[in-house]
A and B are shown apart, each in its own frame.
Chain A
């Protein structure tokens, strides 16, 4: 399993680390980790509804934060849980060391994703934590050893 839920990262919340060969795969692992903390048998989630969304951000760690926030948004607004079907990330093309140029011209990471799921059914779904948010606490997304690594702390 390319993600691992941490045992004692904080004394108040849930945390996990994830690693993958590409940024897309990393984001998928992070979605799966968040899902498995919410529903302990995610394989039981059926693809009743489909949801596509786009997020963009000029910071890759905050892009991950907002990507996972979409999972929480669907859980709270629709009472539903979604498995990720597809995610693609377009990375910034122009890199400049001049801050104003970075802000104005570099653009951002652009993420596009599709997820499928259904309303939570306590009869079939083993309910775990009701996660309220993704925190910035020690949030990390970085290239490491030719792949990608992330650390995420969730607020329950």
Chain B
């Protein structure tokens, strides 16, 4: 392992032990392609919900681009999405295609909804291909209760969750731990929490990677990142992160048998959905390594990358291996973060209903990440290969019979949790065998169509709250302006996104979930 301290430390202040990384070549990164012709003009509509840009469309592309979208989602995609996906196609060691999911939109470097697999021997790893909120993800919890039982206590529940699940700027975590305990936590993930009584063994089984990536090494993480993270375990954050109480309406059950296998087995059943990630910690880890990669990617490794946001290092290099280990720490932090919030949800429900979480049937359905890079085995042109799969704003969607699926779901497929806007609803999907061409990946959410400030200018938080209350959704938010930024109209149509994913064979719909209560940062 190469310690971060080997890089030039250029930041000083009165707090000891803070290290930071310097970019040695500030002239790198002239930006994106300057070609004027639109990539959209090179796109072939090769199947109902699949579009392809050939590798000849831009100089330097190693593989074609494939975009999964219905005609209308494709039409509404920003031109930059295609350029960004083409830039990803130029990265060394990319295998197959540079993919974009149906909810794709412009991101930093990679598009959000971007999927790219690299040969671990010859390919790269890139923080911009994972996202800065490492292991931003979704957790779905079912209850044994129905709307009739919960409705009378809804406001009390939402108020208590708002009070007891820290959210927004300045919220400190549920877990009071030292920096050295935090170092253990980021290597142990949700497993660390459950071993201390914050959850059940079955929660781990029903979490991607069992709630812990085993390659995490706290020694690869800067003390600055640890400072930013150690008091944030069990916090929701702000932006599009939320905790939602939802209902399963009978008319929204698409696949009753699969829903039943996931424990969704009664009309008007109440479930909870949680969307958050690794908070400032993950961002600091990604930022530290972005700077470190900028310093070496061209001068030492001659990768020829011109966009600073696509900063990368060979996966098989000291820098690449360190980032992979540090990224896994952030993945584990996010699993622990969601685990602690689940623990608090169980406490709140138990207090409000005066029954134990077991009696209330508060079982986790699944926890799935949508910002990661992982080593997986996939078939490429008939040959099984080990690949480093980057998924940024994209969800793993394993089919029945594949490894790393909880045994109880083994012959059904992996649950996939897709968060919509807080006004329009979310989805539980299941992985499909036909998802193999995209390395078993599907969408992650509905994707924004409107800027935050534009949404804030167009809607007021108070109006949105009243509008939601008229629709039967009780909402509590730390920031009223933040609430306006998350207005449903600022997002793509979630129904169209999951339909496109289904038509493309990436995943199948199981049930649509309608919010009745929402806690936001």
Chain A interface (Cβ within 8 Å of chain B)? 5-14, 38-40, 51-59, 61-62, 66, 69-70, 72-73, 75-77, 79-81, 103, 108, 119-120, 122, 125, 127-133, 135-137, 155-156
The residue on A at minimum CB distance from B24 is A103
Name 6 A/B residue pairs within 8 A (Cβ), A-sorted. A6-B453, A11-B448, A14-B453, A127-B168, A129-B482, A136-B290
Residues of B within 8 A of A80 (CB): 170
* B10 near A79: Cβ-Cβ < 8 Å: no
* B239 near A66: Cβ-Cβ < 8 Å: no
* B20 near A132: Cβ-Cβ < 8 Å: no
* B132 near A132: Cβ-Cβ < 8 Å: yes
A108 to B23, CA, bound (A): 11
User: How far, in Å, is A143 (CB) from chain B's closest CB?
Assistant: 15
* A119 near B169: Cβ-Cβ < 8 Å: no
Residues of A within 8 A of B450 (CB): 8, 11
The answer to whether A108 and B132 touch (CB under 8 A), given A11-B78, A73-B228, is no
Total number of B residues with any Cβ neighbor in A under 8 Å: 59
* B224 near A57: Cβ-Cβ < 8 Å: no
The answer to whether A8 and B453 touch (CB under 8 A), given A59-B26, A79-B170, A137-B108, is yes
The residue on A at minimum CB distance from B26 is A59
* B453 near A54: Cβ-Cβ < 8 Å: no
The answer to whether A132 and B13 touch (CB under 8 A), given A12-B448, A13-B452, A119-B170, is no
* B451 near A128: Cβ-Cβ < 8 Å: no
Residues of B within 8 A of A76 (CB): 227-229, 232, 279-281
For the complex, is B206 an interface residue (Cβ under 8 Å from A)?
Answer: no
List 7 A-B pairs, minimum CB-CB distance, nearest first: A120-B170, A59-B26, A53-B13, A130-B238, A76-B280, A8-B451, A156-B239
* A127 near B78: Cβ-Cβ < 8 Å: no
Residues of chain B from 261 to 308 with CB closer than 8 A to chain A in the complex: 279-281, 283-284, 286-287, 290-291, 308
Residues of A within 8 A of B238 (CB): 129-130, 156
Residues of A within 8 A of B107 (CB): 12
For the complex, is B449 an interface residue (Cβ under 8 Å from A)?
Answer: yes
A72 to B478, CA, bound (A): 18
The answer to whether A51 and B13 touch (CB under 8 A), given A11-B450, A133-B287, is yes
For the complex, is B509 an interface residue (Cβ under 8 Å from A)?
Answer: no
Count chain B CB atoms within 10 A of each CB in A9, A69, A75 and give the residue with the most.
A69
For the complex, is B406 an interface residue (Cβ under 8 Å from A)?
Answer: no
Residues of B within 8 A of A62 (CB): 23, 26, 291
A39 to B482, CA, bound (A): 12
* B169 near A75: Cβ-Cβ < 8 Å: yes
Residues of B within 8 A of A75 (CB): 169-170, 280
Residues of chain B from 417 to 458 with CB closer than 8 A to chain A in the complex: 448-454, 457
User: How far, in Å, is A18 (CB) from chain B's closest CB?
Assistant: 16
* B10 near A7: Cβ-Cβ < 8 Å: no
